[in-house]
């Protein structure tokens, strides 16, 4: 027996009413270039004090947590890029061996 969803659907074209706000049906999401930005997840993370101080010093008014988040994303992107490059090089080397 399937249960019906208790979550009401929300029409983007419909005007927002005070009743929607009072009922908690309104979910605000940040948009960038027409896309919805993925929400962040709260975590507890223990970092070296010197590392946190360095990011705070670099960040200034911007917020050190945002800077740490960007550094982590950059690190993941670089690792993905390195893996992609390795794969391309392997494929190229296999092609040259077969041609020889």
User: Residue 79: inside a domain, yes or no?
Assistant: yes
First and final CA of the chain: distance in angstroms?
Answer: 64
CA 94 to CA 89: how far, in whole Å? 9
Whether 29 and 39 have beta carbons less than 8 Å apart is answered as yes
Q: Spell out the alpha helix ranges (H) of the chain.
A: 18-23, 49-59, 64-99
Q: How many domains does the chain have?
A: 1
Instruction: Render pLDDT for 12-27 as a digit per residue (tens, 0 to 9).
Output: 667 777 777 777 666 6
Predicted structure pTM score: 0.49
Instruction: Render pLDDT for 37-77 as a digit per residue (tens, 0 to 9).
Output: 677 788 899 999 999 999 999 998 888 998 999 999 999 98
Please give the residue range of the domain that contains residue 23: 18-37+49-99
């Amino acid at each position: 027996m399937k249960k019906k969803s208790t979550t009401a659907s929300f029409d983007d074209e419909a005007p927002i009413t005070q009743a929607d706000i009072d009922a908690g049906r309104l979910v605000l999401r940040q948009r960038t270039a027409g896309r919805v930005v993925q929400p962040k997840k709260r975590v507890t993370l223990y970092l070296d004090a010197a590392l946190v101080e360095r990011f705070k010093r670099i960040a200034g008014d911007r917020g050190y947590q945002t800077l740490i988040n960007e550094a982590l994303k950059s690190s993941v992107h670089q690792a993905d890029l390195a893996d992609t490059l390795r794969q391309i090089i392997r494929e190229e080397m296999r092609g040259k061996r077969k041609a020889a």
